Amino acid sequence: MLSVFKEYFSDIPKKGNIYLMLFWRFLLVMLIFSVSRVLFYRFNADFFSNLTFNGFLRIMAGGLWFDTSALIYTNLLYILLFLLPFTFRYNRWYQTILKYLYIVTNSLALGANCADFIYFRFTMRRTTATVFDEFKHETNFGSLLPKFIADYWYVFLIWIGLTILLVVLYGKVKPIKRGSGFKFHLVYGFNGLILLLFFATFMIGGMRGGFRHSTRPITLSNAGQYVSEPLEAAIVLNTPFAIYRTLGKKALAPVEYYKSDNELEAVYTPVHKQQVADSLKRMNVVIFILESFGKEYIGAYNKHLYEKDGYKGFTPFLDSLVSHSMWFRYSFANGRKSIDAMPSILAGIPMMVEPYFLTSYSGNKINSIASLLKAEGYHTAFFHGAPNGSMGFQAFANVAGFQEYYGMSEYPDSRDFDGMWGVWDEEFFQFFAQKLNQFSKPFCAAIFSVSSHHPFRIPERYEGKFPKGTLPIHQCIAYTDYALKRFFETVQKMDWYPNTLFVITADHANQPYYPEYKTNAGAFAVPVVLYKPDNSLNGRVDKLAQQIDIFPTVLGYLGYSKPFVAFGRNLFDSNSEPFVVNYTNNSYQLFMKNYLLVFDGKETKGMFDFKTDSLLEHNILGTQIEIQQKMEGFLKAIIQQYNTRMIKDDLIVKR
């Protein structure tokens, strides 16, 4: 392998090596994209009045991540044709074809970037793939385009200037042809194939935004990692990236089930206007989001299964904690993926149609439990034992207003890495406990666990300690439950512990064993547990609860009195109707009272009594007309509020 690199990069001083040329030309367009980012900011500086010089440098550095991804996509065909291990790639005609391909594709990408110098002022976000839907019915687009160019001629000239720069600098390096003959062709082809595979590997990493298996392909929401305010994400991003990442995504469409705002808000509104309290309870808040902790694994939620076949679950500690907590028997997640959990739990935003992280609306201004409590003097922090940036959690935590983020980079001992996802839960929970003890009071902190995840391993020292159960995940659940026990053993000795509200939930359910957890209801079943060390919150509540209720419930319990937006309800508010909403298989689901309604956006497809018909075997659509109509009307109001507020960037209360 070393000989291959020596052979092909020995010409570097001559600046004619074909691989060096490829690197130079990619670097060239990266540089021009950075220039266009500066220009984007200069054209729209009035919208970013709070941006500091250091903040801008951070944005410029972060932008390289997104430029790399976008430009690999843009130049994918060019790079592939350039790397083909055949000597005809040195021919003039072939190089001419490559040149035009490079100039045309990158010029179009630059044009999209330049268009957003102006178009951003109208949309307040980078242009996404939805632009094709917006203009597909415009029969006069051919006449509109010259008008836009005439009105904004200076932007058009900037684009032409950047393209000319691209053309001029492209030809500064020409390839040096190497050797000839049959033997050379064989060696050349073999070495070239190896280098093609080498470059392909790095291209995949560049397009994804990293090589770690725990890193999802970066998307629009990851820009939040580099900003102080959500709107600044538009500077971090580039327009081609925003388009590529939203191609094929279902865009939210405006709906008008209700013709007037008054009529709509009479049925449902996500704006919470809390009753005025004497003062805010300055109580600490700790939120556990346990990876894959579906209700099926928790014995306290499955007494009926114990009575049936002796099933005890795999969470002896959590069972004991639940017996001293307020817990909700009919509690559900609002999504089926880890990336759905943070927006739902911390900001009251459910997954509807597409995960919030992956939509073009992920740059909207939002309020969250962190941002609102930070404004009240709380110290706020988010913890996730995975590599920083994993799953986009760090980006969302930043946008949501958490002051600090603690990931694997902040964890002091790399020996506790599980080799796959992050730091083992037991060690990271102890790290979490010690950090909490150092925070100023009051604080609001959330932690997302990692160990109860595929490939379902536990530390070697605990092999044989936990029951393996019937599914691979079971011993991992038992291990994380043990880590949770160790956490509480540590923190109950700390002075802040008595004045703390603990919330325990899961991101989503996972592998099911019992049939009732394989249905469209059971698949969303996760715990919602509120624990206060003085036992002032106690007992089972036989009402519906969901992840998006946690944010308004915690604020309600603390006596927060200012208005805010959250799509859930305060679980302590006896005047609001309990409900659960989620989305699966291209349909919305609404739980109210005993019933589950399935609605595809146009008509109701099913209705079930999920409490008595746990397997959802009996569709009772049409038999409970009054209840069905009420549920349809309520669900339509939720959908309309959600779509409208997402599209209009109306997720905070304007003061």
Cβ pair 237, 69 in contact under 8 A: no
Task: Indicate the domain borders of the chain.
Answer: 2-246, 288-572
CA proximity to 401, closest of 451, 346, 350: 346
What is d(CA 451, CA 449) in angstroms, rounded to the nearest whole number?
A: 6
pLDDT-flagged residues of the chain (< 50): 1-15, 137-139, 179, 181-183
Instruction: Detail the DSSP E strand segments found in 359-428.
Output: 379-384, 404-406
- Burial of 638 per CB tally in 10 Å (0-12, 13-18, 19+): buried
Pairing assessment for the beta strands 326-332 and 528-531 based on DSSP bridges: antiparallel
Cα–Cα separations (whole angstroms), residue 393 to 10, 289, 302, 385, 446: 43, 12, 31, 11, 12
CA proximity to 561, closest of 278, 270, 346, 284: 278
What is d(CA 116, CA 118) in angstroms, rounded to the nearest whole number?
A: 5
Cα–Cα separations (whole angstroms), residue 23 to 9, 12, 110: 12, 11, 19
CB atoms within 10 A of CB 622: 9
**For residue 256, which phi and psi values (nearest 5 degrees)?**
-135, 60
Please name every residue paired with 332 in a beta bridge, in sequence order, or none if there are none.
Answer: 525, 546
What is d(CA 312, CA 538) in angstroms, rounded to the nearest whole number?
A: 21
**For residue 23, which phi and psi values (nearest 5 degrees)?**
-60, -45
pLDDT digits (tens, 9 = 90+) for 489-520: 999 999 999 999 999 999 999 889 999 999 98
Looking at the domain that runs over 288-572, which CATH code has it been given? 3.40.720.10
What is d(CA 218, CA 222) in angstroms, rounded to the nearest whole number?
A: 6
What is d(CA 233, CA 371) in angstroms, rounded to the nearest whole number?
A: 17
- Burial of 199 per CB tally in 10 Å (0-12, 13-18, 19+): middle
pLDDT at 611: 96
pLDDT at 314: 97
Instruction: Detail the DSSP E strand segments found in 487-612.
Output: 500-506, 528-531, 539-546, 564-565, 580-584, 587-592, 595-599, 604-609
In sign, the C-alpha dihedral spanning 489, 495, 498, 500 is negative
pLDDT at 357: 83
- Burial of 614 per CB tally in 10 Å (0-12, 13-18, 19+): middle
CB atoms within 10 A of CB 532: 18
What is d(CA 48, CA 194) in angstroms, rounded to the nearest whole number?
A: 47
In this structure, what token pair is assigned to residue 651?
């997720």
pLDDT digits (tens, 9 = 90+) for 372-392: 999 999 999 999 999 998 888
In this structure, what token pair is assigned to residue 633?
């009307």
What is d(CA 555, CA 570) in angstroms, rounded to the nearest whole number?
A: 8
